[in-house]
Homo-oligomer: A and B are copies of this chain.
Amino acid sequence: MNFMDLVSRRQSVRGYRDKPVEREKIEKCLQAARLAPSACNAQPWRFVVIDSPDMKDNVAKTTFSQLVPMNKFTLTVPAFIVVVSEKPNLTSQIGGLIKNKQFHLIDIGIAVEHICLAAAEQGLGTCILGWFDEKGVKKLLNIPRQKRVELMISIGYPASDEIRPKTRKDLTQIASFNHYE
């Protein structure tokens, strides 16, 4: 599959088959994340895979509440990858401070997308989740209080084979040549 086909195939999947995900497939996703580039090669990330039945239900419950019921699909998710920010190395920290940049968040975006694309290539669906009870997740997984859980990714076999068309801005709205438009 060429890269553009893979990019088109990756989509947010919110319905999963009741089928566990093989650990070797998950490990392939993690290997792709491991090889991701990062500012000063800091690799400021840690991934906690949740695939035990009890644990995944508890993690799912942190993604919705009575007030915000939108993520209830997570109760059908066979596995999650919880993404924790780790302290970048000194070079990246100093560079970020001087330039007022948070390079580690950009790094995490890159690594997370490597996971989602590696999953798509293996016929797995993913959804990147930014809305969850961060304190609750940290308590559940024994993640030290001072760390940040930036995202979690749901991962599993999609309930449907349909590839939906993507709604995006036109290229002319997001790109220009030799000056900002």
A interface residue numbers (CB < 8 A to B): 1-4, 6-8, 10, 12, 23, 27-28, 30-37, 39, 41, 43, 45-52, 55, 84, 95-96, 99, 101-103, 105-110, 112-114, 116-118, 121, 128, 130-131, 134, 141-144, 150-151, 166-169, 171, 174-180
Contacts and interface: CB of A to CB of B under 8 A. Distances in A.
Task: Give this chain's copy count.
Answer: 2
Given A106-B112, A118-B4, A37 B10 contact: yes
A175 B109 contact: no
Contacts of A102: 102, 105
Contact of A131 (B41, B99, B166): B99
Nearest to A109: B109
Contacts of A110: 109-110, 112-113
A3 B4 contact: no
A14 B70 CA distance: 45
A32 B45 contact: no
A122 to B, nearest CB: 9
Contact of A30 (B30, B142, B175): B175
